[in-house]
Amino acid sequence: MCAVSYEKQNQIATITIQQPPMNALSRAVLNDLNDCLDQIEADQDIKVVVIQGEGDHFSAGADIKEFMTISDKKAYQKLSEQALKVFDRIEYFSNPVIAAIRGAALGGGLELAMACHMRIVTKHATLGLPEINLGLIPGYGGTRRLPLLVGFPKASEMILTGETVNGETAEWLGLANQAVEEAHLHRETLALAEKIAQKSKPAIHSALQLLSSQKFRHEQDREVEAQAFAQMFESEDSKEGLNAFLEKRSPVFRDR
């Protein structure tokens, strides 16, 4: 069974992360997500893409259990680079991509959502970059994308405290386009997708290309982020944070 699937309805493709209950972003998920993008890109009929998570959550982030199986710094950097490559591809995808978010969009899950062009969230969804609570840092583009969406001061607060916001606050901050009731998420996301799909495809592509050109994209920044992310795994605090997470206890950091 694939970790990610997609279905096409009219001119809208819906990608679903199928790793419930939390839809963790393992290497298999990233590979399958990239494969889905290949298939969608080859289908000239598709105009809009929706990304969602199966079940109660969008994605609670990277697969922590998978982290614990990695012992080599270069492997951590390679994992970060893999995610950054896929998420950058989404950000600069030729078709607009909408994230439909319910439940948790945390860590890598929020980084995936921020790579999308638009985000529809439920009012009680939970969004944040809590990596610092594990002695780590966002490694999938969060330090670059969050400031562009909510501003540098609020992004600094969210990343350095690890605190989360709900869907209504995310809309107020500009992190989400719209916060809706849980029961209306699919309907409202589809309504936005259909509204865009009614437009001319060449015009959609041209407008999206111009919008994307306003962003600052530097390959060097991606490499620096991947290296910094990998470096964190060599600290004693990161090992303590990861073990504490798996053991469901509060970590005791020693600042080393």
Residues acting as catalytic residues: 111, 131
- Residues 129, 149: Cα–Cα separation, whole Å: 14
Structure tokens belonging to residue 38: 């290949």
Query: Which residues contact residue 18 at a Cβ distance below 8 angstroms, ignoring those fewer than 6 apart?
Result: 1, 2, 3, 4, 5, 54
Name the amino acid, one letter, at 82. Q
Q: What is the DSSP string of 36-95?
A: HHHHHHH-TT--EEEEEESTT-SB--B-HHHHTT---HHHHHHHHHHHHHHHHHHHT-SS
